[in-house]
Structure 1
Amino acid sequence: MDQTSGAPSPVTALRRISFLLERRLADTYKVRAFRGAVATVLTLAPDELDRRCAEGTLQELPGIGRATAGVISEAHAGRVPAYLAELEETAGPLVEGGDALRPLLRGDLHSHSDWSDGGSPIEEMVMTAVEVGREYQALTDHSPRLKVARGLSVARLTRQLEVVDGINSHLAGTFRLLKGIEVDILDDGGLDQTEEMLGRLDVVVASVHSKLRMKSRPMTRRMVAAVENPYVDVLGHCTGRLVKGGRGTRPQSEFDAAAVFAACAEHGVAVEINSRPERQDPPDDLIAQALEAGCLFSIDTDAHAPGQLDFLQYGAARAEAAGVPAERVVTTWPLERLLEWTGRRRPS
């Protein structure tokens, strides 16, 4: 930020535009253009940036197009770029509701990086999580069987945990990146990762990603078996439904919700309220059923890009409308209590 004019730096302006576009689920190519421009600007020496802005030659650089060049030039000149001002003016709240619960949310237990099917590096996700006020954020990239999402093998997950350690060492005392995984629930209810690796994690979100049209009885057995696994903390997007969006729609899976939620309540596994607007999972009636069953909840973004970390408002609005008490939402808990909970069933 320019201290005299109040205008953002070129990098700050480009990052903010990317965030606002991701927040509104804009086309991926638009977001990539601005995030790609950030990478290019960061390689420039100050004198070269000065010269190119003066000469109007920014578009000669790789990854800089007409729109991004205009943003860079305006910010470099000490002005708020017009495109950024327009996006800020039209940003507004994502959804009405959730205003009481949203400020109580300290963290988020479900997010992805470019190590699997997310769009940004871990460091960018962390930087944004800090900027939007998270106290903790779980990195939960996919498990090996989900090849379409570049799921992490044991070797890749091991390397990722080293990266997380480095980030936490740098940010000690201000923010915690939790070691996690979104582990695939296999057909028989087993988990798609070794117990040794699951035991090294802070948070395990278990989700069904395959055979979503399985008949109700085997699907119920599959989900209950996963919930009973001592490494599982959160049951992710339990119905698998899609209600809108670029991927089309998908009906919810069929299972005995009473049996699944009874298992969640018995074992202290949180039912995820997935905040992605195209999921709205679980449906309202199942949130009510889980609440009646005595379940805990985790309001998570399932963010695949930095701007989507702002999706918590969607989940907070749905939970608040359903009458879910804040105390039953694990992501309102302070970090120490949260980690005591995720560690409660781990084999010693």
Structure 2
Amino acid sequence: MKYVVDTHTHTISSGHAYNTLLENIKEASQNGIELIATTDHGPDMPGGPHKYYFANIKVLPREINGVTVLRGCEANIIDFQGNLDIPDKIQKNLDIIIASLHDVCIRPGSKEGNTKALIGAMENPYVDIIGHCGNPVFPIDEEKVVRAAKEKNVLIEINNSSLMKGGAREGSIKTCTRVAKLCKEYGVKIVIGSDAHSCFQVGRFDDAHKMLAEVGMPEELIINTQKDRILKYLKKKGKLADLKLD
């Protein structure tokens, strides 16, 4: 299976990543990635960019070196109602928003509280993806989250970095596998994100691919295999008005 989209990448603006946007795009083009979303952490992440960074991200070209660029954010969920750390007026002008729980931005809660936070974020019309929900630091009711994603038309991310040996969220494999199986059962679309904090991780999905193959995830539920899949999804949500599809 060929993957041509990476919806979760970070640059030096995130504060703890190591490459520039241009370096990420160069690596993407060499890896056969046709579309990259640049999704730096929201401002509540220690070392993260100011909210003005996201307000001004519209200055980035739509295409760089033959790679389509989506201007986005990995926003931090900051409470158990699912609110994010960037204002609505900025959210509505972004191409793509991942909503994620990070324990440096919100203290992990009960399974019920964490589940409520993710479902609350899904009720935000500007949220497109729920990021790395397999993190064992934030236990969730996986079935409730997946069923809510189906209802709200939100993509569930399978985060490659979470599955890597020595990766960012060790111990995620069990929950990620359960989430993937539920997405298959309920017909919920998923998206693989590299969560690259180095350009050398952009477009690399080996661990996520292995897990999804074991689960038997149908290709039609995986957004990454065709560029138009993510573009059509976002356009149906009222985004990407400047971008014409073939």
Give the structure-2-normalised TM-score.
0.85
Structure ID, larger Rg? 1
Looking at structure 2, the residues matched to 226 and 158 of structure 1 have their Cα atoms a distance apart, in angstroms, of 20
* Contact residue 106 and residue 331 of structure 1 kept, 8 A: yes
Identify the residue that residue 205 of structure 2 maps to in structure 1: 312
Looking at structure 2, the residues matched to 333 and 238 of structure 1 have their Cα atoms a distance apart, in angstroms, of 23
Q: List structure 1 runs of 4+ shifted beyond 4 angstroms.
A: none
* Contact residue 202 and residue 339 of structure 1 kept, 8 A: no
Over residues 292-343 of structure 1, what are the superposed CA-to-partner deviations in whole Å (9 max), with x where a residue is unaligned?
Answer: 12211001100000111253122111111111111101111323x4222123
* Contact residue 216 and residue 254 of structure 1 kept, 8 A: yes
Q: Of residues 19, 24, 44 in structure 2, which corresponds to 1:125?
A: 24
Looking at structure 2, the residues matched to 216 and 346 of structure 1 have their Cα atoms a distance apart, in angstroms, of 33
* SS at structure 1 position matched to 2:85: coil
Identify the residue that residue 255 of structure 1 maps to in structure 2: 140
Q: 1:170 to 1:137 in 2, by over 3 A?
A: closer
* SS at structure 1 position matched to 2:28: helix
Q: CA RMSD in A?
A: 2.0
Q: Which structure's relative contact order is higher, taking Cα pairs within 8 Å and 6+ residues apart?
A: 2
Identify the residue that residue 4 of structure 2 maps to in structure 1: 106
Identify the residue that residue 244 of structure 2 maps to in structure 1: none
Q: 1:212 to 1:287 in 2, by over 3 A?
A: farther
Q: 1:345 to 1:170 in 2, by over 3 A?
A: closer
Identify the residue that residue 181 of structure 1 maps to in structure 2: 73
* SS at structure 1 position matched to 2:9: coil
Letter in 2 for 1:115: S
Identify the residue that residue 294 of structure 1 maps to in structure 2: 187
| 1:135 paired to 2:34 | yes
Unaligned ranges ≥5, structure 2 = 242-246
1:269 Cα deviation from its structure 2 partner: 1.1
Over residues 254-289 of structure 1, what are the superposed CA-to-partner deviations in whole Å (9 max), with x where a residue is unaligned?
Answer: 222211111101122111111111245543222212
Unaligned ranges ≥5, structure 1 = 1-100, 241-250
More helix by share: 1
Looking at structure 1, the residues matched to 34 and 63 of structure 2 have their Cα atoms a distance apart, in angstroms, of 15
Looking at structure 2, the residues matched to 127 and 295 of structure 1 have their Cα atoms a distance apart, in angstroms, of 32
Give the structure-1-normalised TM-score.
0.61
* SS at structure 1 position matched to 2:75: strand
Identify the residue that residue 16 of structure 1 maps to in structure 2: none
Looking at structure 2, the residues matched to 344 and 170 of structure 1 have their Cα atoms a distance apart, in angstroms, of 24
Identify the residue that residue 216 of structure 1 maps to in structure 2: 111
* Contact residue 223 and residue 260 of structure 1 kept, 8 A: yes
Number of aligned residue pairs: 228
Q: 1:310 to 1:334 in 2, by over 3 A?
A: closer
Identity of aligned residues (%): 27
* SS at structure 1 position matched to 2:150: helix
